[in-house]
Structure 1
Amino acid sequence: MKEYIAYHGTNSSNARKINDSKCFVYKKDRVGYLGTGSYFFDESYKRAFDWAKYITERKRRKDPSVLRVEIMIPEDKIFDTTDPNGENVQKFEFWEEELLPGLLKENGLNIKGPGGIEGVIYNTICDFEKYDAVRAYTHTYTGIERKHQVSTRIPNTIEICLRKNKYVKKINIEKGDQIV
């Protein structure tokens, strides 16, 4: 079993609902960078708080909230690409070679959704090979990047996309905007 302490940024109303129900709900038709599921920042309260602040301000709210989540998942159920020389990166590249020509032919260069091609490939891998989570280095825009409408490609966090709630063992609402 792999254990992760992860953080989920949202607004205070959603945080209370998730905490009370012990259940994360996600849109099955929404494909993010790591595929379809609930997203968490692996051991990064700061990234989760920055994200929560951004999404609440975007909706003209002022109630960012962060959930601390303990995840326990069998190692064979998580597709982890954090080792650039690892087997799973090679597996991703294999699937990319298999899927990309058809996707481009079908959709042109306009892969819909914020996840683009990566999310579609991760979903295919998870569906075909029965993974329940994806863990990868990602880049989450920082406040200064949003302010100046620029971005870098330098990964600044590790994210986990969890497809099943059964691996969530504990949820707590974090207090304040301190960095843990």
Structure 2
Amino acid sequence: MSPGPSGAPAVSLALALEAGAWGDPDHIEALALTALEAAAKDLVEREGQPFPVEPPEVSLVLADDAMMAEINAQWRAQSKPTNVLSFPAFPLVPGGQPGPMLGDIILARQTIEREAGELDIPVDDHITHLVVHGFLHLFGYDHIENDDAEKMEAIETRILTSLNLSDPYGDTEPV
């Protein structure tokens, strides 16, 4: 396992600005790398998640609501935008050994901005949360069943707390 700058497992990030007014891509990349590093560190240290020796790659696609609605319709039969979608490169269960490519995380700018306004939080904080959320999906975590949702939300909260960000669910206790 190759450590990143903070001693966390390294994660390689491929950023693609596909649609939307995202501003400075270097800023978004820095936010995402910080989120990915914190999430990887937490998964290794707290969940016993193995990592490959070579840094696995995550593709982060920056989209707008129109693009996200198309992707959501194609893959989830929901003709509306959503804030984040994740597509693992290979099926993985929590604790399973990932390959060299973890998968894709897609973010929708307008939805993220609207939700951040509704939540009264900085857009950067919401982006960070959604990158962490998407990253956990790449490792097989989900929120379909209540028990799984509670586990995933608790891990997210713990990771975000390590980044000095508030609990996005309002009352989740980190595990």
TM-score, normalised with respect to structure 2: 0.29
Larger radius of gyration: 1
More helix by share: 2
Q: Which has the higher contact order (CA 8 A, sep 6+)?
A: 1
TM-score, normalised with respect to structure 1: 0.29
